[in-house]
Amino acid sequence: MSDEADLDRDEEEQADDYENVPTSVIFEAIRREGEHELSRPASALWWSGVAAGLAISTSVLAKGFLASTLPHDDWAAGVINLGYTVGFLIVILGRMQLFTENTITPILPLFLDPTGSNFAQTARLWGIVFAANMVGCLAAALVLVHGHILPEVRFDGILAISRHYAEASPFEHFAWGIPAGFLIAALVWILPRMKDAGEVLMIVIITYIIGLGGMSHVVAGSTELFVLVVSGELGLAEAVFGGILPALAGNVLGGTGIFTALTYAQVREEI
């Protein structure tokens, strides 16, 4: 007697789709995506990065809205941080350029072929995307503070979560940025196997954990810091050196230095 289930053609195709995909295949899919990103024109990377900076700021809006609505009880954080997922859903599903995704995508081609040219291409991509993300975040902060586009009570919620984020020390932003970078890189690694609702659910789960854990994400956190800078509550140098750069270093260490390096180590003998 055969051990295989009696499936029709459609069911066989579905089974093939859900069959375990070798790690080397996932590696190759992300590597090809990385090569595509490295070859894109600077203007395309720039405007996609600015759009991502603006869009990720909706995470701050959503958290602020919920914070201004819910009571100050311990359980409220579990609901408030659902708002943190909004910006990531827009950015990732919209295929915009988010710096923390690039801690793995363009790095795989570099690990496979660590030439000077590939280093230069990666540095170019990182520089353009990070600068563009920061411009988008600053633009969002300027509109939020000076545009008067929100009711005061909702804007007060945004100020509250921004002040809370700014309370962390530079070392805390660095340390809390490591698991955030690791999780975003893990999300990029997982997404090629996800389809439709599964992709949405995975983005929500991973980014919700980052928000609930109080981890430091350099792009989303930059909007919070820029809101305080534009409001006159925080100096620009303090925001950059006390929050943005430490979180950047932590995200890169967690995403590239740990997750991506370990990912490459497990497949290098197979590729």
d(CA 3, CA 106): 43
The tens digit of pLDDT for each residue in 226-252 reads: 999 999 999 999 999 999 999 999 999
CA distance 88 to 29: 21
Among positive and negative, which fits the CA dihedral 58, 241, 173, 72? negative
In a domain, 11, yes or no: no
Output the six-digit token pair for 258.
């740990």
**For 19-44, what is each residue's pLDDT tens digit?**
566 677 778 888 888 888 888 999 99
Q: Residue 234 sits in which domain range?
A: 20-267
Total structural domains within the chain? 1
Instruction: Indicate whether 194 belongs to any domain.
Output: yes
CATH number for the domain harbouring residue 256: 1.20.1080.10
- Does the pLDDT value for residue 73 go beyond 90? no
Please tell me the distance from the alpha carbon of residue 195 to that of residue 132, in angstroms, as a whole number: 29
The pLDDT of residue 19 is 55
pLDDT at 1: 41
- pLDDT at res. 21: 63
User: Can you count the helices (H) and strands (E) in the chain?
Assistant: 14, 0
Whether 3 is covered by a domain: the verdict is no
